[in-house]
């Protein structure tokens, strides 16, 4: 099950987290609350850092994390390889498993309780950061297919907020530029989970006008998506 109406509570917890350890604890709570197997945040690139994996926050078993790092599965893991290039969510059911190494990798991951199903959500940060946010499950294929869109709905935005807070808490923040009243109103309502049509109705605007305000806010804040603009505007207390 997705987050059962606790989305905003988890959002508040992420925003007020005092450390990366706090973020990991929040991710564990989200895992339990939503019936998932694991949640993983993996920063691939932070412009001011040159480490290959600058931030990892994972709910996986420690033994699997050690094995993954020791064997440098970052280079083999098809979800990492594909997710680092993609902008759209990657469902693990669509991953190419034709090679013997990839088949062995997924068997190992399953043996360590990673989760048989998964979706990896690419995150693009406002300063050129790249990260992956993954949720995994042990649901049967049919059940996963019926619920995965609900998981993506809840965790797409939460992944951006976790990324933003993780970068901030790790001291890797690069600041940048400001919003009109309408841009702020549209972003604020997006942050509350409203769709463009609902925002247009509440503000007595046309749908195209709302889309224009969201697009201009995104460009003004230097963000690749509206979700990133919501995160950045919230962090800078512009909403």
Instruction: Enumerate domains of the chain plus CATH numbers.
Output: 7-169 (3.30.450.80), 181-235 (1.10.10.10)
- Regions of the chain with pLDDT less than 50: none
Residues 140-180 have pLDDT tens digits of 999 999 999 989 988 988 999 999 899 989 988 766 556 88
pTM of the shown model: 0.74
Q: Beta partners for 91?
A: 119
Count the Cβ atoms, other than its own, within 10 Å of residue 231: 29
pLDDT at 175: 63
pLDDT at 141: 93
- Would you say 20 and 163 are in contact if contact means Cβ atoms under 8 Å apart? no
């Amino acid at each position: 099950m997705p987050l059962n109406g606790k989305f905003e509570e988890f959002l508040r917890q992420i925003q007020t987290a005092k450390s990366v350890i706090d973020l990991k604890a929040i991710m564990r709570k989200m895992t339990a609350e939503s019936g998932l197997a694991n949640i993983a945040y993996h920063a691939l690139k932070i412009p001011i850092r040159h480490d290959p994996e600058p931030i990892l926050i994972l709910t996986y078993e420690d033994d699997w994390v050690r094995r993954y790092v020791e064997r440098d599965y970052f280079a083999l893991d098809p979800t990492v390889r594909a997710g680092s290039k993609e902008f759209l969510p990657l469902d693990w059911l669509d991953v190419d498993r034709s090679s013997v190494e990839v088949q062995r990798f997924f068997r190992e991951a399953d043996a360590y309780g990673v989760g048989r199903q998964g979706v990896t959500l690419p995150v693009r940060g406002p300063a050129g950061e790249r990260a992956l946010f993954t949720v995994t499950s042990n649901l049967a294929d049919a059940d996963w297919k019926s619920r995965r869109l609900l998981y993506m709905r809840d965790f797409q935005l939460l992944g951006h907020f976790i990324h933003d807070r993780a970068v901030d808490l790790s001291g890797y923040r690069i600041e940048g530029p400001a919003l009109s009243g309408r841009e702020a109103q549209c972003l604020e309502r997006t942050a509350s989970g409203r769709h463009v049509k609902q925002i247009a109705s509440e503000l007595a605007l046309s749908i195209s006008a709302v889309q224009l305000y969201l697009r201009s806010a995104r460009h003004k804040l230097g963000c690749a998506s509206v979700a990133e603009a919501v995160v950045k505007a919230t962090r800078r207390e512009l909403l």
